[in-house]
A and B are shown apart, each in its own frame.
Chain A
Amino acid sequence: MNKFTQFRRRKIAGPILVVAALFTIGTAFGIASALPGAQPAPSSSTSPLVSQGKAIFLRGCSSCHGLNAEGGAIAPSLIGVGAAAVDFQVGTGRMPMADMSQQAMRKKPVYNADETAALAAYVASLAPGPASVTSENLNWQRDGNIAQGGQLFRTNCAMCHNFAGQGGALTNGKYAPSLMGVEPKYVYEALITGPQSMPKFSDTTITPQEKLSLIAWLQSANHEQNLGGASLGRVGPVTEGLLVWTLGLGLLIGVAVWLAMKAR
């Protein structure tokens, strides 16, 4: 449902929209200047950072991705994926993969920040692609709107990552990971690079400001307090049913056994 169309029809919506529009225009400048877009391949592919990255690449990545990152039977080409993809995959420890399982999972990174940056610079030098972002660039506290982020999340993300960002199952053992505790910059990079099963969300379909809203909502979901007691994993009725058959009925039957026992 296009909530905004309906929203527009309300009387109070007019003034709110004007304020919102001014606010958006004002902040758009800030975001536009703060957010890196696709950056062209650096002209000098021989800068020291790039050659350092190339060295690391040849040692740690080329056996699967090919000597020139052209891809192989088991790994995709990295030409044009950009620094953002490298920063995401290597920075979250997904790459290099520990084993040939269905899907690379988040683990302790193998390379430190400098090595990751060098790798990213090398891959970015191959062909233009999305640049990596830094957490400082993402001013989601200022530019993100939590409620808007929630709307976007439920339309674009909840079907895989679950309503509360807890993750969910995909086909054949693949899964959408939990988004709890994921740093804003990795969320942003995942959105623009579409790692593994995840599709890409282009800046025109979900604008940079909207991406910050998504991050703002995720941060709020991260700190969502347990209003009603234990969260039971926030995965819906399955755990609730489990609890009622174990703890609920268990306690009641326990008391019933005591009740029917003869006193001594």
Chain B
Amino acid sequence: MSSIERFQNPGLPEHVHRKADTDPKAAKRAEQQVAILFLLSALGTVGTIAAYIYIRSDLYVYIPILGSTNVQQMSLGIGLTVATLCIGLGAIQWAKKLMPDTEVIQERHELRSEDQDRADFVETFKERGGEAGIARRPLIKRTLGIALGVVGLSPLVLLRDLGPMPKKYFETTNWTAGTRLVLDPGGAYIKPSDLEVGAVAQVLPELPKGTERTLENVGKDAVLLIRLRPEDFNLDAERLSWTYNGIIAFSKICTHMGCAVALYEQQTHHLLCPCHQSTFDVTRAAKVVFGPAARPLPQLAISVDAGGYLVAKQGFTVPVGPSYWERNSSNG
């Protein structure tokens, strides 16, 4: 075979006329369709305005699939839908049926500039650049480089006051030795007898008088209190001494990304984080048994004070919440 013959481009197919091009009746029909659509749109707008003015905002009606639906919000939306849909359909129908539908061929031009233009550009650039003399005056070139290089630093410095330095913020909470546990919400003190086996409670530290509890506090201080049968624990002696009569306390802030870990399964003694499904085993000091969290939830040592109320024996021994660069995680 000397040369392979390929199929050839047959060129644009012959234009086929639409009905509306040849039949005046069809054209008239198309025109009417478009006009009706535009009128419907106007009706939609009138309906929207009427709905805005006349329909009470507390009126509900049952609609299959949607359920008990607010009439005002629904009518406004449907009115708007009709108003816009019919303009759109009308315009497209007009274009399809009545505007010229002969396909047009337009030539493309190569984007690349002509060689002469390119050469001229390079020439001009060099010439103008030469006039500035940047190549001849290296001192200007270098100092300009320095100036431009550092000029961006001032805005960066100006942004410094966006926030304070973290300092020891991540390592501290409001829990200290003797802080009473209070219920969230409510703020009542808790006695060990208040919790039956299998019971949980969301608690916060009692703040010194006159201190307002902020969301920032809650984001670090939130603790989950759980009561198990003491024989269910599988803890070392130290961690066991941090519990009180089967009551164990963990930071509620996930060590992965800080969500509130509070899905406690009473039978398996597992705590689940709903964000990324890290699962912690309460009986083994919140050891991670599933999911992306890499560290157990910090355990809070608890005891009772003279009044018989639950208190923290000491603050958290490790920072609560997600990891950060400065965190020393060698001891958990």
Direct contact of A and B (CB under 8 A): yes
Whether the Cβ atoms of B212 and A171 lie closer than 8 Å is no
How many chain A residues touch B (Cβ–Cβ < 8 Å)?
44
* Bound complex: CA A225 to CA B226 (Å): 36
Whether the Cβ atoms of B212 and A6 lie closer than 8 Å is yes
Whether the Cβ atoms of B201 and A226 lie closer than 8 Å is no
Overall SS of chain B's interface: mixed
* Bound complex: CA A255 to CA B87 (Å): 13
Whether the Cβ atoms of A205 and B270 lie closer than 8 Å is no
- Point out the residues of chain B lying under 8 angstroms from A176, CB to CB: 263
Whether A247 is near chain B, meaning CB under 8 Å from some CB there, is: no
Whether the Cβ atoms of B185 and A155 lie closer than 8 Å is yes
A234 to chain B, nearest CB (A): 11
* Bound complex: CA A234 to CA B271 (Å): 24
Query: Quick one: given A1-B214, A226-B68, A263-B18, are A194 and B272 in contact (CB under 8 Å)?
Result: no
Whether the Cβ atoms of B266 and A200 lie closer than 8 Å is yes
Query: Quick one: given A170-B263, A194-B266, A262-B101, are A227 and B195 in contact (CB under 8 Å)?
Result: no
User: Interface size for chain B: under 10, 10 to 19, 20 to 34, or 35 or more residues?
Assistant: 35 or more
Query: Quick one: given A160-B263, A226-B69, are A171 and B184 in contact (CB under 8 Å)?
Result: no
User: Among the listed B20, B213, B262, which residue makes an inter-chain contact with A5, where contact means beta carbons less than 8 Å apart?
Assistant: B213
Query: Quick one: given A199-B264, A205-B190, are A155 and B184 in contact (CB under 8 Å)?
Result: yes
Whether the Cβ atoms of A201 and B200 lie closer than 8 Å is yes
Q: Which chain B residue shows the least CB distance to A159?
A: B262
B268 to chain A, nearest CB (A): 7
Instruction: List residues of A (208-264) whose CB comes within 8 Å of B's CBs.
Output: 210, 225-231, 255, 258-259, 261-264
Whether A198 is near chain B, meaning CB under 8 Å from some CB there, is: yes
User: Among the listed A2, A171, A231, which residue makes an inter-chain contact with B279, where contact means beta carbons less than 8 Å apart?
Assistant: A171
Query: Quick one: given A170-B263, A227-B73, are A263 and B97 in contact (CB under 8 Å)?
Result: yes
- Point out the residues of chain B lying under 8 angstroms from A197, CB to CB: 265-268
Whether the Cβ atoms of A159 and B263 lie closer than 8 Å is yes
Whether A101 is near chain B, meaning CB under 8 Å from some CB there, is: no
Whether A29 is near chain B, meaning CB under 8 Å from some CB there, is: no
B225 to chain A, nearest CB (A): 8
Whether A46 is near chain B, meaning CB under 8 Å from some CB there, is: no
Q: Which chain A residue shows the least CB distance to B65?
A: A230
User: Among the listed B69, B190, B213, B264, which residue makes an inter-chain contact with A229, where contact means beta carbons less than 8 Å apart?
Assistant: B69
* Bound complex: CA A72 to CA B68 (Å): 48
Q: Which chain A residue shows the least CB distance to B260?
A: A159
Whether the Cβ atoms of B274 and A1 lie closer than 8 Å is no
Whether the Cβ atoms of A225 and B60 lie closer than 8 Å is yes
Whether A11 is near chain B, meaning CB under 8 Å from some CB there, is: no
8 cross-chain pairs, A with B, having the tightest CB-CB distances, nearest first: A204-B194, A200-B199, A199-B200, A263-B96, A197-B265, A205-B201, A159-B262, A2-B213
Report 23 cross-chain contacts, Cβ distance below 8 Å, ordered by A residue: A2-B184, A2-B185, A2-B187, A2-B218, A4-B185, A155-B185, A156-B202, A159-B263, A159-B274, A171-B270, A171-B279, A171-B290, A174-B265, A200-B198, A202-B196, A202-B201, A225-B60, A225-B67, A230-B66, A255-B88, A259-B92, A263-B96, A263-B97
